[in-house]
Amino acid sequence: MSADAGPAAPPCVLFEDEHLLVVNKPAGVNTHAPAPFAGEGIYDWLRHREPRWAGLAIIHRLDKETSGVLVFGKTPLANRSLTEQFTRRAVRKKYLLLTDRPVPGKPFTVKSNLIRSGEKYASQRGGTSGEAAETRFLVLNSSFILHPSSFSLVEAEPLTGRTHQIRVHAAESGFPILGDTLYGGTGAARVCLHAAELRFKHPATQAEIIFSAPADFTADARLALRAAFIADGEPNACRLIHGAADGWPGWHVERLGDFLLSQGEAELIPKQRQTLEELARSFRARGVYHKILNRQIRRAAAAENSPQFVFGEPAPEAFLIRENGVQFELSFGEGYSVGLFLDQRDNRRRLLTGHIAADFPLLNSKLKTQNSKLEVLNVFAYTCGFSACAARAGARATSLDLSKKYLEWGRRNFALNGLDSAAHDFIFGDAFDWMKRLAKKGRAFDAVILDPPTFSQSKAGGAFRAEKDFGRLVNAALPLVKPGGVLFASTNAAGLPPENFLGTISRAVADTGRKITQQHYAPQPPDFPITRAEPGYLKTVWLRVA
């Protein structure tokens, strides 16, 4: 069945109509968030992305490391119909798997009861404990070539829908799935299990429909995950390697338009350089740069903190990237940061669309009047990325920063997007001092953006450390938030746990006598995956404050 999701649909969407949303889930992302601060699953990311997806319902699930076809319900009719079809086993599911172990040549069926045993499930023949599970297996190709070895490609049809069912039954039958080390499989870049086909009756028409997605076990799993969420070329900036989450502890690589930026605490090793060469070919990068992360950043000169040219073509003094239809100027010659923080991409999109999360619009309808513009204050504005997105959406943006150089950079970002900077305010000075001044003048904003550096210092305000001073920052900002307005608070302070961060903000709001009426916690985007080996660091909360 062909997709009909419209231009706003991300690449993972296979089909959408009034009742259904069907996606091709990549390996490496959960169906739904496993814990409050563990990163979004594909369901959470989709549900909060578009207003029309606010009512999405989970009907079935795929394991984090399993890719393939996943269907969500959009209406009560669809939810009832699909749940009923799954319950009476009327939905036909076909999976494909790879294994490097011998597989019986003839089709066969495995029946057993599955019992939870720690992180795993154990298979038990006979008895009454556990849940009954049944899987049919069929070898499709016994000489599938995945350089430098050959494997068997096997079709699996689960007749029941138990957690880890196919993985347990394959291992029990002597052919654990390639990459499934939990069940004895040979190590690989991913678990080579893919939900290839889903067949059921449409909830409204009752016509039989089939959704399928081809398996590609040869693809780079890291790039496949990004490709599911980020359309080819738009944006043309994202993180390609995120440390230990992508098998490279302490190393990060970003695509920035026509260039790649590598970051680590040491010089590149040969294997990293080889990986960069492969990525450069894949994305047709003109040049590659490497930045050695410096813990003494404030003591080093800009040239020492700037990325260094590695190979290819040197970047010009300034170059452009695209993100959600907005252009930004970047530079490798301005010190530690290149001009835009990619981990805030989804939050900038929220300002562009006016949609924060499911049932959480940016502008409270009670505040909206026919002749007024949305007023946004961007504190610690840096190069005004949030401001440019708010202005593109029709808001009047006030950008506040301690650096004249960055505010001028922000004006250039406005000009790149056809925005008249003269229609907006750019304020140079200390954040605390100016928030106090604005409050005395009676200024109030529909949204206030707080995304401070982990550490900053000014003559007027002294030292600011996010881990101990965020509450003070919120207290200073709240008088500027209109009743029913939105406060955005974000930090990348790795040493500040999300629970403590949210607690600090809640106490600061309560101390002023105001009340939080809506709250949405937004972790870092999918190209910054959160794993046990690479915990999340970016913490963001959107609050509506009465």
pLDDT digits (tens, 9 = 90+) for 87-98: 999 999 999 999
pLDDT of residue 4: 41
Q: Which of 100-109, 292-301, 464-473 has the lowest mean pLDDT?
A: 292-301
* N- to C-terminal Cα separation, the chain: 47
Q: Is the pLDDT of residue 2 over 50?
A: no
Q: Which two tokens stand for residue 211?
A: 């959704």
Pairing of strands 396-401, 375-379: parallel
Q: Which two tokens stand for residue 505?
A: 């903000």
pLDDT of residue 6: 41
pLDDT of residue 235: 83
pLDDT of residue 231: 85
pLDDT of residue 277: 98
Q: What is the CATH number of domain 341-545?
A: 3.40.50.150
pLDDT of residue 143: 60
Give the separation between CA 13 and CA 24, rounded to whole angstroms.
6
How many DSSP H helices and E strands does the chain contain? 12, 29
Strand-pair partners of 212: 197
Q: Give the domain ranges of the chain.
A: 13-212, 230-316, 341-545
Give the separation between CA 41 and CA 49, rounded to whole angstroms.
12
Cα Rg of the chain (Å, integer): 25
Q: Could you read off the pLDDT of 27-83 as tens digits, one per residue?
A: 999 999 998 898 899 999 999 999 999 999 999 999 999 999 999 999 999 999 999
Amino acid code (one letter) for 123: S
Strand-pair partners of 320: 329
Q: Which two tokens stand for residue 246?
A: 């992508």
| Secondary structure of residue 311 in the 3-state scheme | strand
Percent of the chain with pLDDT strictly greater than 90: 84
- State the chain's mean pLDDT as an integer: 92
Q: Is the pLDDT of residue 148 over 60?
A: no
DSSP at 231: B
- Left (φ > 0), alpha (ψ -120 to 50) or beta: where does 459 sit? alpha
Pairing of strands 425-428, 396-401: parallel
Catalytically annotated residue among 63, 220, 401, 430: 63
Q: Could you read off the pLDDT of 358-402 as tens digits, one per residue?
A: 999 998 766 555 447 899 999 999 999 999 999 999 999 999 999
Q: Could you read off the pLDDT of 299-358 as tens digits, one per residue?
A: 555 667 899 999 999 999 999 999 999 999 999 998 778 999 999 999 999 999 999 999
Q: Which two tokens stand for residue 125?
A: 């023949």
Q: Could you read off the pLDDT of 397-452 as tens digits, one per residue?
A: 999 999 999 999 999 999 999 999 999 999 999 999 999 999 999 999 999 999 99
Query: Looking up tokens 């799954």, which residue turns up?
Result: 86
Pairing of strands 20-25, 108-117: unpaired
Contact between 453 and 401 under an 8 Å Cβ cutoff? The reply is no
Give the separation between CA 520 and CA 486, rounded to whole angstroms.
11
Give the separation between CA 140 and CA 446, rounded to whole angstroms.
59
Active site annotation includes 63: yes
pLDDT of residue 370: 46
Q: Could you read off the pLDDT of 463-507 as tens digits, one per residue?
A: 888 888 999 999 999 999 999 999 999 999 988 999 999 999 999
Q: Is the pLDDT of residue 146 over 70?
A: no
Percent of the chain with pLDDT strictly greater than 70: 93
Give the other-Cβ count within 10 Å of 210's Cβ: 12
Contact between 376 and 445 under an 8 Å Cβ cutoff? The reply is yes
pLDDT of residue 539: 96
Q: Is the pLDDT of residue 100 over 50?
A: yes
pLDDT of residue 157: 98
Give the separation between CA 134 and CA 115, rounded to whole angstroms.
14
Say which CATH superfamily domain 13-212 falls into: Pseudouridine synthase (3.30.2350.10)
Give the separation between CA 143 and CA 335, rounded to whole angstroms.
52
Fold of 230-316: Transcription Regulator spoIIAA (3.30.750)
Closest by Cα among 251, 239, 416, 401 to 327 = 416
Q: Which two tokens stand for residue 234?
A: 């738009």
Q: Which two tokens stand for residue 283?
A: 């994305």
